[in-house]
Structures are given as structure tokens and as C-alpha cells.
A and B are shown apart, each in its own frame.
Chain A
Amino acid sequence: MDDLLRTPLHDLHLELGARMVPFAGYAMPVQYREGVLAEHRHCRAQAALFDVSHMGQVILGGRSAAQALEALVPVDVQGLAERRQRYGFFTNESGGIEDDLMIANRGDHLFLVVNAARKAADLALLEGAMAGVEAVTDRALLALQGPGAEAALAALVPSAAAMRFMDVAVLDWQGAALWVSRSGYTGEDGYEISLPEARAVDFARVLLAQPGVAPAGLGARDSLRLEAGLCLYGHDIDAETSPVEAGLGWAIQKVRRLGGAREGGFPGAGRILEELVKGPARRRVGLRPEGRAPMREGVALFAGEDEVEPVGRVTSGGFGPSLEAPIAMGYLPAALAEPGTPVWGDVRGRRLPARVAGLPFHSVNYRK
């Protein structure tokens, strides 16, 4: 653990009783004293504070950053309104995904949040494509998530209450500039807040002192995003998976599709645009195991109890605390992707039944 990077909140995590684990080169809290299930449920019921400072924050300050970024992502960046944010992904020449990210238009520049494990690769990609790329390394990133998030943050910065889902704003908290977006990755309403690292501990302490706010670790973050049907890079999406297979076609706006004003022009456009029209050969699906045994990442999926050849694989799986049942996501041939289709997963050498389920498992609760 000694050679791991630490976030600005490291000592606070230890003080709060966190169990620290290595994650993407950082020492990160996987859970606090309450444990994953309680932290998960607390987020769904009230508000949870996550340290996500390991994620990459990047400013694109070049004059034509939006246009340049569109050469890397199949997203309508030029059409993104000021003070708005959009989900996207970097694609590669074979139509796979290099990383997924958030893109915010902050007026005179774009602000990106990328996955921790892909930071270096993403920066290299961006720097190869445009000038004015600046890695933000002196700011922490916190996620405040749950139905109580608005009240908790508004107690510190009242104007946060007026923000809508995917709005971004710069708000002042005692002289510190908070870069706030009303977003997150739990399926709940909430905020992600970038702030100067020197102020991060004080800010986190004040938030944790608000009624209903409790810390939550990566364990709960993972089960929350799984219930919300959200992809985890390196698991549910990767360099071989196309956005269309992954069910992320909604993030490719019309203007970048066939017949759009800025059709294509991103890596892998041939495959991706064709799949959008014809449908992909395989699809990301939700899975509900019929028993209580979780089907975890790597579990092979079969079309029949006695079939020899697998037809797919689980990419994320575990226990859904809000459903009190095991849940999983994986890939199946398009013909088997309809909700209700029976499949079998090989769990420790036994074929256990499951059914394809619609996503998300738990209805999302965004402040539209």
C-alpha cells in the first residue's frame, strides 16, 4: 500500500474507519465501518459522500477544442450548450471504446472527467489531437449522491439547488471555487464537485456533518452503478466492445450519425454507424439469476442447461442490495437479448438458471 498514490482525503478516510484497497494505482476506501450494504442503502435513502479524486480531470482550453474532441468521440460536443454536461466515450479504429467520460462545456473551455485507470492513455490521446490540454492535478473530486444530496449541498451553497441533471456551474464556498455538476454514477440525484485539494478535507467534513450524509466507498459505488445499469470501463465496456453493443447508442447524437451534419469523423465510425442502423451482433443485457448465488464477472453464459458452447459472458455481477437479489450484466447474441429469455450461467461447475432483464435494475432518480 505504501507505493500507492493517495487522494487529498486519505487521512480522513482512515479517521472514518475506511478499509483501504489498491485501485488504479491509488489507495482508495472500499468501505467504511458500516459496510457495503449499509452504505449502498444509505445512498438510496439519504445521501452518500464518495471520494472520486482518483479520476482524471482535464481541461481542454484550445480555441477549437470542441471540434478537435469530436475527432475522438462520437458525441455532439460542438452542440453542447454552455454550462451543460454530456456523457461520451473515446472510440478506437476498430469501433471499440478506449474510455468513457463526462464532457462539460464551461464557456471558454471544456472540462472532462475520465477514469482513473485510463488517465495517462486519455491524456496522450488528447495531446496527440489538439493543443491546450491541461491535466488538473491540484483538485479533489467528490461525489455526493442520493435523494438528500440537494439539501446537503444547498446548505453550503444554496444555488446548487437550482441546478438540473447534467448542469454544470462554478459555485463559491468560502472562497473556494467549486466546479459542480449535477450528475453522478449511482442512479441517484446528486452532484460531483471538483475543488482545490487544500480545501477538500474541510469541505468533506462540513458535508459529512449535514443531516443524512454518510461516507461510502468503492464497494457501494460499484453495487449502486450496477443496479443503475451503468457500465464500468474495463469490465462492461473495453477496447473490443462497441458503444452500440453496449447499449450506449443514445449517447451518439443524430448530428454524428449517418445523414447528420457532422456524420462520422471519429475512430471506428464505419462499424459504429453501421451497427446503429443494422443492430449489433451481441448486446449488453441485464441478468437476474433465479437463485441467490451471485453470477460474477467471467461467468460463462449458455443458451441451454446442457449446451457445451457458451454464448456470452458476465461482465459485472454481484448482489443488488436494493433488490435484495443477485444481479449481473453481460453480453449475449442479439437473438437472446430480449428480457425474459432464459439463460444458464456456469457457477463453480454448475449450470444455474437466470433470465435476461431490462436495465436499469433499479429505477433512476435524476432531477430532470
Chain B
Amino acid sequence: MKFTEEHEWLRAEGELVVVGITEHAAEQLGDVVFVELPEPETMVARGDEVCVIESVKAASDILAPLDGEIVEVNAALIENPALVNEDPLGDGWFFKMRIAELGLLEEYMSEDEYKDFIE
């Protein structure tokens, strides 16, 4: 698993990349009450705002970590946004995307590097 400075995690799953937010991010956000997901089959560029997360406190964005295509979104979050808090690394995932090559993930932080980053 890889981590971005925007507190997203990226996990290779076959030829796709699954994207979610870290436990640290979920805790900082507080209770999530609304998630707006992108349409599947959307082409996105790195840095695009692809999801909106609204917690009890504020709205924040999830950025596309890489260029690619959104192929699947976690529709369960629409009915149950609390999954983001309950299981951020598992059932609280946001979307799966196809990128040019999985090797592009390597530029992002390892778990240890991310732990140092948030301290």
C-alpha cells in the first residue's frame, strides 16, 4: 500500500488501483455524513478533485492521485458514509482507477514514510 501527502492510500488490485483515505485522515475529518463520488468511466488527471467528503465539521476533496480512468466507485458510501470512519482502509474505499502502469505508484510514500510524515 502507498500513501499520498493528501492522506490517501493507494492499493494495487490486479491492474487497478483502489483509493481511500487513511485512518489519520478519517480521524481528523470526524464523522463523515456525505460522500459525493465520481461517475464511473470518467477520465481524470492527477490533482483533479474527484470526490467530496463532508464531515460534521467541513467539506474536503479527494484528488486523483494519478492520470487515469475511474472504473468503479464504492456506492455503499452513498447510503452509509460512516464506513469511511468505521473501516477507512477496507469497506470505506472510494474508487478504483486504471492507470497507465502500476509502477507509477512507486513515487508515493511507503507506510513507514507516511507514519513519519504525519508525526
Contacts and interface: CB of A to CB of B under 8 A. Distances in A.
Contact of B34 (A35, A223, A319, A321): A319
B30 A294 contact: no
A219 B57 contact: yes
Given A30-B57, A36-B57, A318-B56, A219 B33 contact: no
A123 interface: no
A262 interface: no
Interface string B43-61: 0000000001010110100
Interface in A136-171: none
A335 to B, nearest CB: 31
B78 interface: yes
B30 A293 contact: no
B56 A37 contact: yes
A36 B34 contact: no
B67 interface: no
B34 A326 contact: yes
B36 to A, nearest CB: 7
Candidate in B30, B33, B52, B54 with the most chain A CB atoms within 10 angstroms: B33
B31 interface: yes
Nearest to B33: A319
Interface string A33-77: 001110000000000000000000000000000000000000000
B62 to A, nearest CB: 13
B81 to A, nearest CB: 8
A327 to B, nearest CB: 11
Given A35-B30, A219-B30, A292-B78, A319 B56 contact: yes
Contacts of B54: 293-294, 319
Nearest to A292: B34
A223 B56 contact: yes
A348 interface: yes
Contacts of A292: 33-34, 78, 81
Nearest to B57: A219
A31 interface: yes
Nearest to B58: A296
A31 B52 contact: no
Contacts of A348: 52, 59
A348 B60 CA distance: 11
26 contacts: A35-B56, A35-B85, A36-B30, A36-B31, A36-B56, A36-B57, A37-B33, A37-B56, A219-B30, A219-B56, A223-B56, A292-B33, A292-B78, A292-B81, A293-B36, A293-B52, A294-B34, A294-B59, A296-B59, A318-B56, A319-B34, A319-B54, A321-B56, A326-B33, A348-B52, A348-B59
Across the A-B interface, the 5 shortest Cβ-Cβ residue pairs? A319-B33, A36-B56, A37-B31, A292-B34, A35-B31
Given A37-B33, A321-B56, A326-B34, 10 more contacts: A35-B30, A35-B56, A36-B30, A36-B57, A37-B56, A292-B34, A294-B34, A318-B56, A319-B33, A319-B56
